[in-house]
Structure 1
Amino acid sequence: MGHAQTLIAMGGAFLAAAVLARIGGRIGLPTIPLFILAGILLGPNTPGIVLVADPHDLEMLSLLGLVLLLFYLGLEFHVDDLKEGGRRMALAGGAYLALNVGAGLGFGFLLGWGTSEALVLAGVLGISSSAIVTKVLVDTGRLGNPETKPILGIIVVEDIFLALYLAALQPVISGADSLGSAALDAGKAFGFLLLLAAAARWGTKVIGKLIATKDNELLVISFLGAAVLVAGVSEWFGVADAIGAFMVGLMLGSTSSGERIRALVHPLRDAFGAIFFFAFGLSIDPGDLPTVLWPVLIAVALTLLMNVFAGLVAARIYAFGRGPAANIATALLARGEFALILATMAASAGLDERLSPFIAGYVLILAVLGPLAAGRSGLLARVLPGRDADGDGTGGGPAGTPDRTPLAAGH
């Protein structure tokens, strides 16, 4: 009976996500908030049909969805992009983190919930959802746009920061007094990041030969195994599993098998990505939200403002106009999986009980608002300072218009 329930939950999750996405497509809504809505409506926290009583039942499928989303993101972000634009990428990513993490920390102290709580809120407000950003870029057809490189670069910088932040935060919120232990964890995470970067920089040819095969079945098994294995090893070293999957995609995307891998991973990415967002909805209890409504709305407004500033800064660094600035600001708006990880850490450490509903409400609003805003970024571009879209590197159209370069058209 247990296996039957699991299969029913899995099949129902796929079908519910598909039905809502079809409905949304007819009225022009993006799929991400609809997948999340399906999880909320069919989960244990709302009345009516409960398809999945325990969100942990879909935990592994959800994790696989996250791994595949970030693996695909790595396939689109070539090693040459890192080598050629490293300085500008670091500046744009650093500016984004300074604005958003700084605002989150200040907001946390203003709430008066405590120092540990403020440090948690700095991460919640400061880090974008890599999974949602990836899906937004795919859905809007902007993977070939020039401003997508700084967007992906900021995500990379965020993930590097994330590894170090988590290593430093854990002993602080748990009350540990060993700075040596925290330094060791941070050093271990940073060392593994350097190892992954070195493999991406100098090991591509060897990796390409190891994975090369004419058999599509073997190729799928090979790249899927590599992405999942490295994601797991990354987690063990204190690095986010997402960045491990991203780095594998970065390596394989530059090999002779890269184009075939992109084509083969598409259906896997879309199917399991839908489950990731569905499971995300399962974890949200709408009944908790009224108790923290005003702090949530203030935090959302603050994040909107900081993202606009960050988009303008990144556009200036890359000499883009206001169209790409609006695309950058809205594409990076959503918060997601990392914030939920922090909510779990905070609950385990016995921090203020208002943190969990706050994070759930904040993430839910931005997970819905982010894709909607990205699809209508042209409205924001009209009110931003700077040049119009013509000649400013938007990739052939105004903000919010899918790019029609061969790369984007293939997705």
Structure 2
Amino acid sequence: MGGAFLAAAILARVGGRIGLPTIPLFILAGILLGPHTPGVVLLDDPHDLEMLSALGLVLLLFYLGLEFHLDDLKAGGRKMVLAGTVYLILNVGAGLGFGFVLGWGNAEALVLAGVIGISSSAIVTKILVDLKRLNSPETKPILGIIVVDDVFLALYLAALQPILSHSDGLGAALRDGGKAFGFLLLLALAARFGTKLISKLIDTRDDELLVISFLGAAVFVAGVSDWFGVADAIGAFMVGLMLGSTSSGDRIMKLVHPLRDAFGAIFFFAFGLSINPGDLPSVMWPVLMAVALTVAMNVLSGMFSARVYGFGPLEASNISTTLMARGEFALILATMAAGAGLDERLSPFIAGYVLVLAVLAPLAAGRSTWLARILPGGRVKEKEEEKVSVPA
């Protein structure tokens, strides 16, 4: 674990000197020091970091919930649902079509629909933090789309599980989906009406007690969420949403900051450990086609979201590039597919696809002005700004 932290820190420092984002560097550290590459091997079994990796994901999404206030949900609920729904229709629909075109099988196509269609909450959060865009106007629709994605994912996973297991049938799928939806509704009601009570329960002047309290709440609810068939990430997000509106919200945000950064690095490092570079050449062309498809669908959905919120080409570009990343949920689907005995090409495909986008998304988000120039209205706005900058 110490080696993992140090390797991530060293690579991040080197990358920072040449302007590279930290996410792909943390992943690269995991690849280089994992069991699938020659040289030093820190961990023979990537599952040894499974609990710490899960904690990193919980803390990343918990922090995201702290930033995303309930007032934002109330004010932009309809726009958020519309933007999120269109994002899912474009990306999940494209993923399903791509899966059928590949011809690997119907169950495989359903897995690919989720892999290609759902953005990575963890990487999106890290991009927003690294680029200091948490307070940017386009961050609200980005977070809104992430919330809609996660709600869809909870229901999608519940429906997909009995299909992959070939055992329980439609009744079990509906039961599991209803259980997941009911738990999400319970969390939403607690966030909406229980803020005052939660504020009294969490309030303390002692920082040590406050850290223990919010960390216990986030991890516990994440675990219960997973038991109900809801992604643990969305459970942690909902706890952050509740606590962010309390009187202790600002203090919690400061206290969780170093925990988020440390264990977030472990999350991406552990992801790198699971990637075997030797498997990637066999699925190179499908990966590149899927990446191109994802870029196209994200640009289209970003333009639509920007139009819904009345934003310009730069905000549309920021939305498109930030949401491009795929990560932890794709890996969950890869695990399910492997357990169900689906096509053996799925696992290396998902690993390669996620790795490419985990590198591409932070780089593209940091240079989103390049995309903004070629979007409709981008050139016009650039010329207007040049005129304003020229003295009379």
Q: Shorter-chain TM-score: what band?
A: over 0.9
| TM-score, normalization by structure 1 | 0.92
Cross-structure match for 1:218: 209
Matched AA of 1:93: G
Match of 1:142 among 130, 133, 144: 133
Cross-structure match for 1:105: 96
Give distance in 2, aligned partners of 1:206 and 1:259: 17
1:166-177 pair list within 5 angstroms? 166-176=157-167
- Cα shift readout 1:146-172 (whole Å, capped 9, x = no counterpart): 100000000000000000000000111
Give distance in 1, aligned partners of 2:358 and 2:109: 22
Cross-structure match for 2:306: 315
Say yes or no: does 1:20 pair with 2:20. Answer: no
Cross-structure match for 2:241: 250
1:276-315 pair list within 5 angstroms? 276-315=267-306
Give distance in 2, aligned partners of 1:389 and 1:172: 50
Give distance in 2, aligned partners of 1:389 and 1:310: 21
1:2-17 pair list within 5 angstroms? 10-17=1-8
Give distance in 1, aligned partners of 2:114 and 2:138: 25
- Cα shift readout 1:328-347 (whole Å, capped 9, x = no counterpart): 00000010000011011001
Matched AA of 1:196: L
Residue aligned with 2:280, SS: helix
1:52 deviation in Å? 1.1
- Cα shift readout 1:170-203 (whole Å, capped 9, x = no counterpart): 1112212521111000000000000000000000
Match of 1:60 among 51, 61, 81: 51
1:143-182 pair list within 5 angstroms? 143-176=134-167, 178-182=169-173
Say yes or no: does 1:188 pair with 2:172. Answer: no
Q: Indicate conservation of the 8 Å contact 1:322/1:389, yes or no.
A: no
Q: Indicate conservation of the 8 Å contact 1:321/1:388, yes or no.
A: no
1:389 deviation in Å? 10
1:236-385 pair list within 5 angstroms? 236-385=227-376
The runs of at least 4 aligned residues of structure 1 exceeding 6 Å deviation read 388-391
Q: Indicate conservation of the 8 Å contact 2:372/2:378, yes or no.
A: no
Identity over aligned pairs, percent: 80
1:294 deviation in Å? 0.4
Match of 1:71 among 56, 62, 83: 62
Matched AA of 1:170: Q
Aligned length: 382
Give distance in 2, aligned partners of 1:158 and 1:53: 33
Matched AA of 2:193: W
Give distance in 1, aligned partners of 2:165 and 2:240: 34
C-alpha change, 1:199 and 1:388, in structure 2 (3 Å) is farther
| TM-score, normalization by structure 2 | 0.96
Q: Indicate conservation of the 8 Å contact 2:30/2:273, yes or no.
A: yes
Give distance in 1, aligned partners of 2:23 and 2:113: 25
1:25-40 pair list within 5 angstroms? 25-40=16-31
Say yes or no: does 1:87 pair with 2:106. Answer: no
Residue aligned with 1:51, SS: coil
Q: Indicate conservation of the 8 Å contact 1:74/1:253, yes or no.
A: yes
Q: Indicate conservation of the 8 Å contact 1:284/1:360, yes or no.
A: yes
Give distance in 1, aligned partners of 2:194 and 2:103: 49
Give distance in 2, aligned partners of 1:223 and 1:298: 43
Give distance in 2, aligned partners of 1:337 and 1:389: 39
Give distance in 1, aligned partners of 2:205 and 2:181: 36
